[in-house]
Amino acid sequence: MTDHDRALRLLGAMRPMTAVPVLGVPAVTVPVVVSYGLPLSVQLIGGRFADDRVLDAAAVVEERASVARPWRDEHPAVPPRSSR
């Protein structure tokens, strides 16, 4: 396999990840579990200008996830936004 072929494969693998920033929609990735010592995450994507809804959903997922959250000791809790 040539370097050109490797580059094309890498670009092809990255294609699904490029849609979110290009479309300008809010997204967040939340770790939910650790498997074989590595965190597995879920990515939440919302509609345009729905940043608050995505962050609220991420807070719920994070609260219910079984992954250890060592960053909670280092950063103060941010209360969820009130429902509208």
Q: pLDDT digits over 66-84, tens only?
A: 666 655 555 556 666 765 5
pLDDT at 39: 78
What is the rounded distance in angstroms from the CA atom of residue 26 to the CA atom of residue 17? Answer: 13
Is 26's pLDDT higher than 80? yes
pLDDT at 74: 59
Report the chain's mean pLDDT, rounded to a whole number.
Answer: 81
The predicted model gives 51-67 an average pLDDT of: 89
pLDDT at 82: 67
Question: Would you give the DSSP letter of residue 67?
Answer: S
